[in-house]
Amino acid sequence: SQQGEEDPQALSIQEGENATMNCSYKTSINNLQWYRQNSGRGLVHLILIRSNEREKHSGRLRVTLDTSKKSSSLLITASRAADTASYFCATDWGGSNYKLTFGKGTLLTVNP
């Protein structure tokens, strides 16, 4: 099935550093989304980038999309302890906007 795969699986950094997570996917997409999940909670939408966009910013977040390489990256600048969470990329599946598939996530730990 169409599925994004995040890399790395886990990332540990110090407060103030930047964190970069990557996502690769298999087939063409209409859009790619990033979500955050705090431990024991539901997922929260962070940002959506469409297939005709190359870069998007939202606060301390920067997302890039390279459709030729079928990959995306999420950069969190000046990280804070509160950014500690799992981050997931999600893509539509098989050309269908109805089926959003998620990768396995990157666990980010930001140490104070």
Partner 1 sequence: NAGVTQTPKFQVLKTGQSMTLQCAQDMNHEYMSWYRQDPGMGLRLIHYSVGAGITDQGEVPNGYNVSRSTTEDFPLRLLSAAPSQTSVYFCASRGFAGGTGELFFGEGSRLTVL
Smallest distance, Å, CB 68 to partner 1?
21
**Where on the chain is the footprint of partner 1 (CB under 8 A)?**
1, 3, 30-31, 33, 35, 40-45, 48, 50, 88, 90, 92, 97-105
Q: How far is the CB of 78 from partner 1 (least distance, A)?
A: 24
Token pair 């893509």 is found at 91
Nearest to partner 1 of 10, 78 (CB atom): 10
Please state the length of the chain: 112
State which residue, 37 or 77, has the beta carbon closest to partner 1: 37
Distance CA 69, CA 96 (A): 21
Give backbone dihedrals phi and psi of 52, rounded to 5 degrees, phi first: -95, 10
Q: How far is the CB of 72 from partner 1 (least distance, A)?
A: 15
Amino acid letter, 109: T
Nearer to partner 1, 15 or 102 (CB): 102
Q: Record the tokens describing residue 10, joined without a space.
A: 């886990």
Compare residues 50 and 80 and give the one whose CB is closer to partner 1.
50
Pairing of strands 85-93, 106-111: antiparallel
Amino acid at the residue 47: I
